[in-house]
Amino acid sequence: MKKELIRIAFTLSLIVMIAGCSSSTNSSSDDKGTITIGYNNFSETIAVVNVWKQILEDQGYDVDLTQTEKGPLFAALSQGDVDINAEVWLPSTDKSYVDKYKDKIVQHEAWYEDTTIGLAVPEYVDIDSIADLNDHKKNIMGKLSG
């Protein structure tokens, strides 16, 4: 829980810093411009971008949220069509995108080191590998939920 709070605090600080650097403008003299935040359809990311949307709007920015897949999101970020990518998983999941666009994007420090993606089961379930899932297929009704 403590790591998650640190991560959220860092994210919020980063977005405020980037928002201050936005060069987009609007015709309203009170408006500080428009910031486009790109994000993937992950529950955590959706929550974070909506919190940031409210914070930035309270500071006078217009905020556009753009939901897309990883490839188009990194391409849009590199072309300036998106100002902020709300979440990047390194060193594995998003490495190919960061490597491809490294000369056109600014990468900030990592929240976590060596992130991974995997499956999780409750401790009381006797499964130690993906192969073990077949032994419990009947118990999980042949379905996994995410």
pLDDT tens column, 58-89: 999 999 999 999 999 999 999 999 999 988 87
| Superfamily per CATH, domain 2-118 | Dipeptide-binding Protein; Domain 3 (3.10.105.10)
Tell me the backbone φ, ψ of residue 34, rounded to 5 degrees. Answer: -115, 135
* CA 15 to chain centroid: 12
Per-residue pLDDT at 88? 83
The model's pLDDT over 24-52, given as tens digits with 9 standing for 90+, comes to 444 444 679 999 999 999 888 999 899 98
Using CA atoms in the order 46, 65, 68, 143, what is the torsion angle rounded to 10 degrees?
20
Q: How far apart are the first and last CA of the chain?
A: 21
Contact 84, 107 (CB under 8 A): no
Model confidence pLDDT, tens digit, residues 124-140: 778 888 888 878 777 77
- pTM here is 0.62
Contact 87, 45 (CB under 8 A): yes
Residue 97: per-residue pLDDT: 92
Residue 4 has pLDDT above 50, yes or no: yes
